Amino acid sequence: NLSDRLERSFKILKGEGKITEINVAETLKDVRRALLDADVNYKVAKSFTDTVKQKALGMNVLTAVKPSQLMVKIVHDELAELMGGKAAELKIEGRAGAPAIILMSGLQGSGKTTFSGKLAKMLKERNHKKPLLVACDVYRPAAIEQLKVVGETVGVPVYSEPDNKNVVEIANHAIQEAKSKANDVVIIDTAGRLAVDEEMMQEIETLKKAVNPNETLFVVDSMTGQDAVNTAKEFNDRLDFDGVILTKLDGDTRGGAALSIRTVVTKPIKFVGTGEKMEAIDVFYPERMADRILGMGDIVSLVERAQQQFDEEEAKKLEKKIRKNKFDFDDFMGQIQQIKKMGNIKDLAAMIPGVGKQIKDLDIDDNAFKGIEAIINSMTPKERANPDIINPSRRRRIAAGSGTKLDDVNRLMKQFEQTRKMMKMVTGLNSSKMAQMAAA
């Protein structure tokens, strides 16, 4: 699934000090695959990963968090950005004394009738509006009945003309009725077909021209995945709608349709439907959808767990070596690398709450390890693995080879011995000894 894929791809980045061209390419290949799996359109996924790549390569990871987490954040922010930044508004004020007119469009079963009811309820309760629902799905008698049931549920009147098949007439009559009854919002529910069909398109196009809505909304079932994009495009070409309603997000839909539709038709997603009940309506939040597409919480915790596990394994190995007094310069170097990997020490420390201010004026040398590394690098593998053989003549050679002084090498040897002793002492206090001490 998506989380697994991303976890795997982020593993490639784990432990890398910075985001490089190579690990970005590898990771983004997997991100792209993950997006396709989340029903994101191919072209959209491609251009998306290209953008992320540019952003990621410009980032200086050394001063920030782990590269894997930084990548998650870049991908997440870019997703949210692409899906609209902030939540889009709905125009609910009519023109000069006339009611606001909201026209629903979309395929059959997309959720138009249900959403009409949800919207009416929301406008009534939250915006103190007096909506009127209008039944312009005139082909199936059951459709009018359905809207009436919905209207009753939410306590909103429904205008219908059972024997009239002319939707323009019905809509115009309804608007007159709204004016006379002081309804300030008219929500027009229309007929959909199972697939895009010329007759239906013409009808809704004509209706739109006739009533000149303040909002034309395109309702789409998020479970339809890739098809949703094509449908959205065809409706938008004909209707130039104002916003998208993404329904059935309560299912196990992966949400990729949101990103694709937003990118392909460049119209905002205004609301989402999250259930069959009339309360199941939500403003569309790009951030939340980005989380959903990424499975964000999951990924971040997976990455962290993976990292922790990695550190624990390393620590266990190290402990074993120390206990056998086998801690050597390779391990010492490994420790230095671990510390360096965490990034700029000062930046890192500054991120700890409360510490930031205190260390601001402190001079922390990022090159603190340079001399030490040079000395260790000048040791032969045999010397590194067996520090005890490093006698005075070897030390002189190492100093010359590393461009340091004999004093420097001696100091490092002393430091190393101290570290080794201390580590042995600390790990010597293993659980059983601790228990003995506690009991004593």
**Known binding-site positions:** 106-113, 189-193, 247-250
Which positions make up the binding site for GTP? 106-113, 189-193, 247-250
The token pair at 40 is: 């994101």
Closest distance of CB 122 from ligand GDP, Å: 13
- Check residue 113 for interaction with Mg ion (CB under 5 A): yes
Closest CB to ligand GDP belongs to which residue? 273
* Start-end of H helices in 343-405: 345-350, 356-360, 370-377, 381-385, 392-402
Q: Which is nearer to ligand GDP, 5 or 248 (CB)?
A: 248
Q: What does 248 bind: ligand GDP, Mg ion, none (CB cut-off 5 to 8 Å by kind)?
A: ligand GDP
Q: What does 247 bind: ligand GDP, Mg ion, none (CB cut-off 5 to 8 Å by kind)?
A: ligand GDP
Amino acid at residue number 30 = D
Q: Which residues bind ligand GDP (CB under 6 A)?
A: 106, 108-114, 192, 247-248, 250-251, 273-276, 280
Q: Could you give the CA distance from residue 52 to residue 54 in angstroms, rounded to a whole number?
A: 5
Residue 307 CB coordination number (10 Å) = 17
Sheet with 100-105, strands from edge to edge, namely: 158-159, 131-136, 185-190, 100-105, 215-221, 243-247, 269-273, 281-283
Closest distance of CB 276 from ligand GDP, Å: 4
Cα–Cα distances in angstroms (integers) from residue 434 to residues 58, 101, 382, 419, in the given order: 49, 76, 35, 21
Q: What does 108 bind: Mg ion, ligand GDP, none (CB cut-off 5 to 8 Å by kind)?
A: ligand GDP
Q: What does 66 bind: ligand GDP, Mg ion, none (CB cut-off 5 to 8 Å by kind)?
A: none
Closest distance of CB 36 from Mg ion, Å: 31
Closest distance of CB 266 from ligand GDP, Å: 23
Token pair 């053989």: residue:
389
Closest distance of CB 344 from Mg ion, Å: 59
Q: Is the CB of residue 99 less than 8 Å from the CB of residue 178?
A: yes
- Check residue 41 for interaction with Mg ion (CB under 5 A): no
- Check residue 253 for interaction with Mg ion (CB under 5 A): no
What's the N-to-C CA distance of the chain in angstroms? 54
Q: Is the CB of residue 220 less than 8 Å from the CB of residue 247?
A: yes
Size of the site for Mg ion (CB under 5 A): 2
**Positions in the binding site for Mg ion (CB under 5 A):** 112-113
